[in-house]
């Protein structure tokens, strides 16, 4: 790290957060707005090249209008006393996904899907503005304290990874595993190159390894199909950021099988013809019970009619009533239907 002034007028540099082939990033304080920011300064080996200094600031000017929750904001840019350009950016406190991967290992599939959705949202915003990142990798995906992903360095790598920068910075060589085939071959780079880098990144986050024959484990759905689409050798066949997000939101997601299982558990069974017989038997039994109730009411009426009389019956009348009670015993059947048949027969015998 070069010895540079820590006072940039409005911005006071506190300490270095990291460095690479292209730039050094410092934790800094914005005196005017009294807030913590990150300041990126062009690396020593590029700081004396006028063309790189101009490109550094020009690309920062292009990235500055981007305003999206999943993109690191560019607040300001300028030159220090030595003419070295710097860019003032949003400070993201949670570190990078590269650090999380090194510390905790592979992420859960559900977490990788959440990362993918955040990246798709940020990329869609940048691509709509005509910006291509060209260096998408875990080191450039920062996490805020809520776990939301923010894409860093938009537009800066765009002009620093062309044919000249391969020899001057080594940055593209250092991240060759994330380069799309057309990018590595020197062809025209489009937004599809960012989708390829995202596919490599998602595979690495989910398995801890880069895609290829040495991959440690297969990807679960829906990551398998999404990553395969991202890594298509033909850039024209790769999904856009919006299409990729839609793939991750399709019904065949990580939670869809569980939902389908729950639906199966509560679904009514298919009815076959043989299942109708018990139901018919139940209906017949209910009908017999109703008939039995009607017959009992009829018996009650008959008994009341035959046993009625004066308040003080004569001995002959009492003898007749006793005889009626003796013959009024109602037979019992084993089932409601049998009971109804026996009761109907009893009525025919004793109703006269």
Q: Give 125-150 pLDDT, tens digit per residue.
A: 999 998 999 999 999 999 999 999 99
**Residues carrying an active site annotation:** 135
* Rounded average pLDDT over 45-65: 83
**Closest Cα to residue 75, out of 118, 119, 40?**
40
Question: Rounded to an integer, what distance in angstroms lies between the CA atom of residue 321 and that of residue 324?
Answer: 5
Same CATH topology for 11-90 and 97-261: the answer is: no
The whole-number pLDDT of residue 253 equals: 42
The whole-number pLDDT of residue 100 equals: 95
Range of weakest confidence among 69-83, 175-189, 251-265, 316-330: 251-265
DSSP state string for 17-52: EEE-SSEEEEEEEETTTTEEEEEEEE-HHHHT-HHH
Topology (CATH) of 97-261: Transferase(Phosphotransferase); domain 1 (1.10.510)
When the pLDDT of each residue in the chain is averaged and rounded to a whole number, the result is 75
The residues, ordered by sequence, that sit 6+ positions from 85 with a Cβ below 8 Å of its Cβ are: 41, 42, 53, 56, 57, 60, 77, 78, 79
Confidence check: pLDDT of 208 > 60: yes
List of E strands, 104-252: 141-143, 149-151
**Closest Cα to residue 197, out of 261, 116, 94, 300?**
116
Question: Rounded to an integer, what distance in angstroms lies between the CA atom of residue 180 and that of residue 69?
Answer: 26
Q: How many residues does the chain have?
A: 352
Higher pLDDT, 55 or 343: 55
Question: Rounded to an integer, what distance in angstroms lies between the CA atom of residue 219 and that of residue 221?
Answer: 7
Token output for 172: 């593209």
Higher pLDDT, 249 or 284: 249
Question: Rounded to an integer, what distance in angstroms lies between the CA atom of residue 128 and that of residue 136?
Answer: 17
* Domain boundaries, given as residue ranges, for the chain: 11-90, 97-261, 288-305+316-352
Tell whether the torsion through CA atoms of 71, 72, 78 and 80 is positive or negative.
Answer: negative
In this structure, whether the domain defined by 11-90 belongs to CATH 3.40.109.10 is answered with no
Question: Rounded to an integer, what distance in angstroms lies between the CA atom of residue 143 and that of residue 218?
Answer: 26
The whole-number pLDDT of residue 80 equals: 85
Q: Work out the pLDDT band at 62, boundaries 50, 70, 90.
A: confident
Question: Rounded to an integer, what distance in angstroms lies between the CA atom of residue 316 and that of residue 323?
Answer: 11
φ, ψ (nearest 5 deg) of residue 232: -60, 130
The whole-number pLDDT of residue 155 equals: 61
Token output for 1: 């790290």
């Amino acid at each position: 790290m070069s010895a540079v002034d820590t006072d940039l007028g409005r911005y006071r540099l506190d300490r270095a957060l990291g460095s690479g082939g292209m730039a050094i990033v410092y934790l800094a304080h914005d005196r005017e707005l009294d807030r913590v920011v990150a300041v990126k300064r062009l690396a020593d080996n590029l700081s004396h090249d006028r063309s790189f200094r101009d490109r550094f600031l020009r690309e920062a000017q292009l990235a500055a209008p981007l305003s999206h929750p999943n993109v690191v904001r560019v607040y300001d840019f300028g030159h220090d006393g030595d003419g070295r350009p710097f860019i003032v950016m949003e400070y993201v406190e949670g570190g990078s996904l590269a650090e999380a991967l090194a510390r905790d290992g592979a992420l859960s599939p559900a977490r990788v899907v959440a990362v993918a959705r955040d990246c798709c949202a940020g990329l869609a915003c940048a691509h709509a503005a005509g910006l291509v990142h060209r260096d998408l990798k875990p080191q450039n995906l920062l996490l805020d304290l809520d776990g939301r992903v923010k894409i860093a360095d938009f537009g800066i790598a765009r002009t620093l990874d062309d044919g000249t920068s391969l020899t001057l910075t080594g940055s593209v060589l250092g991240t060759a595993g994330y380069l799309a085939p057309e990018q590595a071959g020197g062809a025209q780079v489009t937004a599809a190159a960012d989708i390829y880098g995202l596919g490599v990144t998602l595979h690495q986050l989910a398995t801890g390894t880069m895609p290829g024959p040495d991959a440690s484990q297969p990807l679960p759905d829906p990551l398998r199909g999404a990553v395969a689409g991202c890594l298509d050798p033909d850039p024209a066949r790769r999904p856009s950021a919006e299409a990729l997000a839609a793939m991750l939101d399709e019904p065949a997601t990580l939670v869809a099988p569980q939902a389908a299982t729950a639906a199966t558990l509560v679904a009514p069974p298919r009815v076959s013809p043989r299942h109708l017989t018990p139901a018919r038997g139940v209906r017949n039994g209910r009908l017999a019970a109703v008939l039995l109730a009607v017959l009992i009411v009829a018996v009650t009426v008959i008994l009341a009619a035959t046993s009625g009389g004066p308040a003080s019956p004569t001995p002959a009348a009492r003898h007749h009533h006793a005889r009626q009670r003796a013959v009024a015993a109602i037979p019992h059947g084993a089932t409601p239907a049998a009971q109804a048949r026996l009761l109907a027969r009893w009525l025919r015998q004793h109703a006269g």
